Structure 1
Amino acid sequence: MERINLVYIHCHDVGRYISPFGYKMDTPCLQQLAESGMLFRNMHCAAPSCSPSRAAMLTGMYAHCSGMYGLVNRGFELEKKECHLAPWLSCNDYKTILAGTQHVVKDRDGIPYDIILEEKKGEKVLNSQRLVCQGMEALDSLNGESFFLDIGFGDTHRPYRDGTAQYNPAYIYPPEPLPDTRQVREDMAGFMAEAKIFDNAVGSIINGLDSRGLLQNTLILCTTDHGIAFPAMKCNLNKFGTGVFCIMSLPGKIMKGSASDALLSQIDLFPTICELLELPQPPWLQGTSFIPLLKGNNEQIRDELFAEITYHCNYEPQRMVRTPNYLYIRRYTSRNKVYCADCDEGLSKQMWMENGWQDRSVDKEQLYDLMFDPQEAKNQVNNPEYESVLVDMRERLDCWQHETSDFLYTGKECKFITNTPEGNIYVSKDTDCNTSDLWLIQEQPKGYA
């Protein structure tokens, strides 16, 4: 019997802002892909920061368990490389191919894919269509072997191009946490222009597989790392940070034109892929297969999920637990202000900075009622009506941290790279402004948090 191939299509910073979620986005190819398979409307990443999110998904382990505490471009790297999906598939006789972005190891050959394609020509990153051509050419070079194509795109990462010529800001709806101003709408137009480029690449991949007679026997997984790069979204443990789009398509195996509302984590993808490809599951997996959902069963696979952030540009350790009805977030920092450098530069951030964003306080504990507060805006920690819920959510988080040996719970030392040349962990108001300023600090002293 012919084995199922796997194509993993991924992008930066898209959250759920694509047309299948009802947003007025110019993403017809993603809409087509969703209608050919299943859309997961309540999927969350395990860490709303680029490298930890990808590491968690591709190892099936929480970021602190795989040793991925922060960004590759800030000096971190996946420690448990042997737990990555690619070598596991190689061990099971799949030809593995890397095209485009990877973002979990410093050196491009740090994960042993069988074929590693160049992401750049000189210093310039190849455009999306060229990356697709590379990937398709690599498939053409195979001799009938089953394959895993990992193809990643960086277009939707800031900085954005000017999108106002394509999309009139007068008719754009802003991201939910932000005010409806022209500045925000112009910013969103830039995102929409980048999302269109990604969508075109998705369409080219689908067409390339179809023209090669591979579409009917290929599992397509298309997702993103975390929420969009706007204030109060990316790098946050609310739904705007952890909520991601996820589409899976496989003719005859996944119900066509369907959607699931089940609460899911991206660490559930590895075990699900193994089951779909009829492969054994490695012993390190911490997620749960959601195969029953693919047949249209409307059931809950899990009654809770967890996510974390330790380091993005700043050391800002936080943990959260989410259930179908509640969200609880715990911060492990004595600084109760916003860490602004963890938000990429853009028009929306500029507007918030000009209006005192740095001076706003952030609660150490947060509890949200997801039924009556779906925007996750009203903290109920100090509301006596939610006392029993708060106790339950605290216990759930404590239990998970204990079971996974989270260093924040056990007191174990965690490697980090400091924010400043002087070795400071927490930056001042004057220095905690621009992401790019912190990124310029390449060689930094290392220590322990």
Structure 2
Amino acid sequence: MRPPNIIYLHSHDTGRYIQPYGHAVATPNMQRLADSGVLFRQAFCANPTCSPSRACLLTGQSAHSNGMIGLAHRGFSMTDYRHHIIHTLHAAGYTSALAGVQHIAHGPDAPTAIIGYHRFLGPPAVAHEKACEFLANPPSQPFFLSVGFFETHREFPPVGADDPPTNCLPPAPLPDTPEVREDMARYKASARIYDRKVGMILDALERNGLADNTLVINTTDHGIAFPRMKCNLTDSGTGVMLILRGPGGFTGGKVVDGMVSQIDIFPTLCELLGITPPAWLEGTSFLPLVRGEKAEVQDEIFTEVNYHAAYEPMRAVRTRQWKYIRRYDGRTRPVLPNCDDGLSKTVWMNHGWADIAPAEEALFDLVLDPDETHNLAGEPRCASVLANLRARLAKWMQETNDPLLASNRIPAPVGAKVNDPDGISPREEPRLV
């Protein structure tokens, strides 16, 4: 039997803010994908910044293991692009193509010359159209097609008639103000555009008779581009949508509540396709969750941040009930350039956000405090939990040779562009390393 085709649909900055996760964000095409596939309620990225998140998913490794500790367009890169999943798939007889965003290598020929895709179909503005053209004339061998959307990255489009700000509920943990409501309304307008493009690709699969033997993976890089979300190790920053539909049991409108990381996708595909998993993989196949054989395949999820616009070294471990976050920069004020500019950021800035010192250590009870607002790290009653999570995090850092063990300052590569962490905006002139 012919191996299944794979389509990897990925957006910018969407978190879980789409219709299938219960949000008032109209995404009917992603809803029909979820209704016929499998939706993961507790999926997390490995690094809630754009390039590192994608590199982690595509290599099955943490960011400090694959080398992508910052943004590709700012001069960061992976250590070995042969760890990208397409090379494992090429060896198994697949061909590969990219339409739109890739964000893990920089340069005009990066998709083919650096990453190694067989074909580059076109830039983000026409990615959905080029993907549909590809599906109308598919190759004879099984394919891996990556379709990267610019949506829902800032800047958002204008508010649409279907989503008036007066009817918008701001995302937690932001206040309900006119500015935040307008910001969210603009996000919804971007999500509608994104959903229409996904719908075109799903329709093309049906129209060309490819739907039954194509595994569709629909996900995003990290949380939405609002304060305390993107580039943060709270669940609002690391929680991502993840919907799969296709062969291997990814059908029927199932919902999986077991915790998974995006680094688990690569080993899952290896098991599904009968491919020997490469030795570098750090994740675990989640097929047992899909088949109903287990309730969990992970009892802990690890996440990290290194560079975004500015340096902000953080590590975290998450269990079902607890989250432990550790900062390594000793800062007494937020790294504001790592929050994208927008109406919501302005609201927080106008109310003293810049003067609030981030905690060096934070411990949250995710059952009693799901928004992660009450730091329990100093509570004597939580001392044993804190010690356990510290030990788990230290063990993971040792096993993955985390460079933070040697120094709290991980150097950026020569030529990288890095903002001053004491700045205000990512748009300020960066320093050239």
Structure 1 length-normalised TM: 0.92
TM-fit CA distance, 1:36: 0.6
| Partner in structure 1 of residue 306 of structure 2 | 310
1:189-268 to structure 2, matched below 5 A, reads 189-251=185-247, 253-268=249-264
TM-fit CA distance, 1:137: 2.0
| Partner in structure 2 of residue 96 of structure 1 | 96
C-alpha spacing 1:90/1:412, structure 2 compared with 1 (3 Å): farther
| Partner in structure 2 of residue 434 of structure 1 | 425
1:38-187 to structure 2, matched below 5 A, reads 38-107=38-107, 108=110, 109=112, 110-119=114-123, 126=125, 130-187=126-183
| Partner in structure 1 of residue 36 of structure 2 | 36
TM-fit CA distance, 1:140: 3.9
Q: 8 Å contact 2:415–2:432 — kept in the other structure? A: no
TM-fit CA distance, 1:30: 0.5
Q: Secondary structure at the match of 1:156?
A: coil
Q: Secondary structure at the match of 1:98?
A: strand
| Partner in structure 2 of residue 349 of structure 1 | 345
| Partner in structure 2 of residue 395 of structure 1 | 391
| Partner in structure 2 of residue 122 of structure 1 | none
TM-fit CA distance, 1:426: 4.8
Q: Gaps spanning 5+ residues in structure 2: where?
A: none
C-alpha spacing 1:146/1:420, structure 2 compared with 1 (3 Å): closer
C-alpha spacing 1:279/1:252, structure 2 compared with 1 (3 Å): closer
Deviations 1:407-430 (A, max 9, x none): 101349733169999x8x7543xx
User: Hey, what's the Cα distance between the residues in 2 that align with 1:201 and 1:72?
Assistant: 25
2:71 maps to amino acid: L
Q: Gaps spanning 5+ residues in structure 1: where?
A: 120-124
Q: Secondary structure at the match of 1:400?
A: helix
Deviations 1:93-137 (A, max 9, x none): 101001000000113232111111221xxxxx52xxx32221122
CA RMSD for the aligned pairs?
A: 1.8
Aligned residues: 429
Q: 8 Å contact 1:255–1:294 — kept in the other structure? A: no
1:182 maps to amino acid: P
Q: Secondary structure at the match of 1:228?
A: coil
Q: Secondary structure at the match of 2:274?
A: coil
1:416-427 to structure 2, matched below 5 A, reads 416=412, 426-427=420-421
Q: 8 Å contact 1:235–1:241 — kept in the other structure? A: yes
Q: 8 Å contact 2:314–2:328 — kept in the other structure? A: yes
User: Hey, what's the Cα distance between the residues in 2 that align with 1:143 and 1:202?
Assistant: 21
User: Hey, what's the Cα distance between the residues in 2 that align with 1:257 and 1:436?
Assistant: 42
1:290 to 286, 289, 294: 286
User: Hey, what's the Cα distance between the residues in 2 that align with 1:445 and 1:252?
Assistant: 47
TM-fit CA distance, 1:374: 1.1
Q: Secondary structure at the match of 2:303?
A: strand
| Partner in structure 2 of residue 279 of structure 1 | 275
| Partner in structure 2 of residue 3 of structure 1 | 3
User: Hey, what's the Cα distance between the residues in 2 that align with 1:136 and 1:238?
Assistant: 36
Q: 8 Å contact 1:402–1:410 — kept in the other structure? A: no
Q: 8 Å contact 1:255–1:295 — kept in the other structure? A: no
1:88 maps to amino acid: T
| Partner in structure 2 of residue 331 of structure 1 | 327
2:275 maps to amino acid: L
C-alpha spacing 1:183/1:419, structure 2 compared with 1 (3 Å): farther
C-alpha spacing 1:409/1:420, structure 2 compared with 1 (3 Å): closer
User: Hey, what's the Cα distance between the residues in 2 that align with 1:236 and 1:73?
Assistant: 20
1:391 maps to amino acid: A
C-alpha spacing 1:420/1:80, structure 2 compared with 1 (3 Å): closer
User: Hey, what's the Cα distance between the residues in 2 that align with 1:360 and 1:252?
Assistant: 48
| Partner in structure 2 of residue 371 of structure 1 | 367
Structure 2 length-normalised TM: 0.95
User: Hey, what's the Cα distance between the residues in 1 that align with 2:247 and 2:56?
Assistant: 27
TM-fit CA distance, 1:388: 0.3
C-alpha spacing 1:396/1:252, structure 2 compared with 1 (3 Å): closer
Q: Secondary structure at the match of 1:160?
A: coil
User: Hey, what's the Cα distance between the residues in 1 that align with 2:8 and 2:355?
Assistant: 41
Q: Secondary structure at the match of 1:374?
A: coil
TM-fit CA distance, 1:370: 1.1
Q: Secondary structure at the match of 1:97?
A: strand
Q: Secondary structure at the match of 1:284?
A: coil
| Partner in structure 2 of residue 23 of structure 1 | 23
Q: Secondary structure at the match of 1:341?
A: helix
C-alpha spacing 1:419/1:176, structure 2 compared with 1 (3 Å): farther
User: Hey, what's the Cα distance between the residues in 1 that align with 2:249 and 2:330?
Assistant: 50
TM-fit CA distance, 1:250: 0.9
User: Hey, what's the Cα distance between the residues in 1 that align with 2:151 and 2:15?
Assistant: 14
Q: 8 Å contact 2:363–2:376 — kept in the other structure? A: yes
- Aligned identity (percent) is 43
Q: Secondary structure at the match of 1:436?
A: coil
1:434 maps to amino acid: S
